[in-house]
Amino acid sequence: MASSQTQSPDHHAILLDYNGNGRSALGEPLLSHDHVVKATCKEEEQHQDEASFVRTCFNGLNALSGVGLLSIPYALAEGGWLSLILLLVIAIICCYTGLLLKRCMDADPSIRTYPDVGGLAFGYNGRLAVSIFMYVELFLVATGFLILEGDNLDKLFPGIGLQVGVYRIEGKQFFIILMALIIVPTTWLKNLGVLAYVSAGGVLASLIVVCSVLWAATFDGVGFKERGRPVNISGLPTSLGLYAFCYCGHAVFPTICNSMKNKAQFPKVLVVCFVICTINYASMAVLGYLMYGNEVQSQVTLNLPLGHISTQIAIYTVLINPYTKYALLITPIASAIEERLLAYNKRSNPIATRTLLVSSTVVIALTIPFFADLMSFIGSLLSVIVSMLLPCVCYLVIFKDKKKSKIELVSIVAILVFGVLIAILGTYTSLKQIIHEL
């Protein structure tokens, strides 16, 4: 009996007998000949689609470069010049916890997502907990996108509103609702693809914004006239929360790692991405603080002078980025809700579900229209949990039987203590500010 041998996705040998039936190494029927050929072709296609080192670096940069870039000068203004040291500390910590996530993934080849890591460490409850923190973070970041759109459109087109009966909706609130109406059709599309998460366009957008702010300072008459203050103790919790928000890319790190041709190079990718992003964040922080000092707003684009091309480029770039990413943030949440609803009601409408989900973000954006406060809350609580605490805890549980050096244990304990302090102080401060401004 002639046979040919290949390998199935679950790494068991497949033998083709004279009838063309796939059998496992134990002789049990497994796959038909057609299925084996298709599986082999699919595996070859996936191998061809795997990302190179450079491409993965672009994906990682886009995961770390987001709307946090706009609030980083405000974070520096809140904490003072010395808080830049804390930015560096948080960058190092988050890079290290990213490496811990990679080690957790290496413990089980079947791990594809962050919730898988939680499941490996704590079973179903761990998977559920990680999923909840991720979904809440995605939901609030999507809400922050609407606030950002409303702020910047109101700056470009002040005084625009709409009369609805006896009520008049104008300014920021009008643009929040308008952008939600424009964005909602994009959330109805299900097959968005993971590549949209790691598009290199986000990296380009971040660079354009930094260059536009630099241009405004150098050629549009703003200049670098402010000195700032060395440190502001009362503002440090806000700074820490915003700094932590800047490095909240851990949710997609497993996906990016699994997209690589050579996954062993992922630690090098992390180091490259964190170094470049930290330089970019620090540059924007210093630029904005030198330009506007303690008067810098929650989004530095709101300080830029109108009537200049650099301001328009910066704001329009800022506006396009959330529009392209909003649906990507909402889709995982909508899919999880739909799976639950379909389990009990087969007539549930995905379009209605996603529209209601967008509407809920609109309600929160109108209720809490303070971009920096919301971002500080997300960073202090959710980003700290997802990016600092959970990787350390999962690593300790998964490798509880592995002997660890004293330096490693001390480092992990220090990160846990530091993360808990940020979570407590930052969350309290941000909630206090939100309540005060309502």
Report yes or no: 126 and 119 within 8 Å, Cβ to Cβ.
yes
Q: How many helices (H) and strands (E) does the chain have?
A: 16, 6
Instruction: Round to whole Å and give the CA distance between 285 and 359.
Output: 33
Q: What is the dihedral of CA 426, 376, 205, 146, to 10 degrees?
A: 160
pLDDT of amino acid 24: 39
Instruction: Round to whole Å and give the CA distance between 175 and 153.
Output: 7
CATH 1.20.1740.10 boundaries in the chain: 52-437
Residues near 125 by Cβ (< 8 Å), separated by ≥ 6?
Answer: none
Helix axes 350-367, 309-344, angle to 10 degrees: 130
Instruction: Round to whole Å and give the CA distance between 358 and 369.
Output: 16
Q: Which CATH superfamily is domain 52-437 in?
A: Amino acid/polyamine transporter I (1.20.1740.10)
Give every strand in the sheet of 5-7, ordered side by side.
Answer: 5-7, 13-16, 21-23, 29-32
How would you label 254-268 residue by residue, b for 16+ Cβ within 10 Å and e otherwise? Answer: bbbbbbbeebebbee
Instruction: Round to whole Å and give the CA distance between 311 and 313.
Output: 5
**Residue reference for tokens 């999880």:** 336
Report yes or no: 361 and 230 within 8 Å, Cβ to Cβ.
no
Tokens describing residue 380: 């202090």
Instruction: Round to whole Å and give the CA distance between 209 and 284.
Output: 9
Measured between alpha carbons, how far apart are the two ends of the chain, in Å? 79
Instruction: Round to whole Å and give the CA distance between 161 and 169.
Output: 5
pLDDT of amino acid 200: 56
Tokens describing residue 178: 């308008």
The pTM score is 0.80
pLDDT of amino acid 2: 44
- DSSP letter assigned to residue 305: P
DSSP 3-state assignment of 105? helix
Bridge partners (DSSP) listed for residue 2: none
DSSP string computed for 118-130: HHHHHHHHHHHHH
DSSP 3-state assignment of 308? coil
Opening angle at CA 256, ends 115 and 95, nearest 5: 80
DSSP string computed for 345-389: -TT--HHHHHHHHHHHHHHHHHH---HHHHHHHIIIIIIHIIIII
pLDDT of amino acid 29: 43
Report yes or no: 137 and 326 within 8 Å, Cβ to Cβ.
no
Instruction: Round to whole Å and give the CA distance between 377 and 218.
Output: 33
Picking from 353, 359, 358, 355, the residue whose alpha carbon sits closest to that of residue 335 is: 353
pLDDT of amino acid 17: 35
Q: The dihedral of CA 119, 257, 318, 358: what is its sign?
A: negative
Centre a 10 Å sphere on the Cβ of residue 211 and count the other Cβ atoms it contains.
14
Tokens describing residue 112: 């594809």
- Could you read off the pLDDT tens digit of each residue along the chain, which spans 438 residues? 444 443 333 333 333 333 333 433 333 444 444 443 344 444 444 444 567 888 888 878 877 877 788 999 999 999 999 999 999 999 999 999 999 999 999 999 888 889 999 999 999 999 999 999 988 988 998 899 899 989 989 988 888 888 777 777 888 889 999 999 998 887 887 654 444 444 556 677 888 899 999 999 999 888 998 888 999 999 999 999 999 999 988 888 887 888 888 889 999 999 999 999 999 999 999 999 999 999 999 899 999 988 889 998 998 888 877 776 787 778 778 877 877 766 666 666 778 888 999 999 999 999 887 888 888 999 999 999 999 999 999 999 999 988 889 999 999 999 999 999 999 999 999 998 888 877
Inter-CA distances, 87 with 120, 243, 277, 335, 400, Å? 31, 6, 11, 35, 31
Picking from 419, 402, 393, the residue whose alpha carbon sits closest to that of residue 118 is: 393
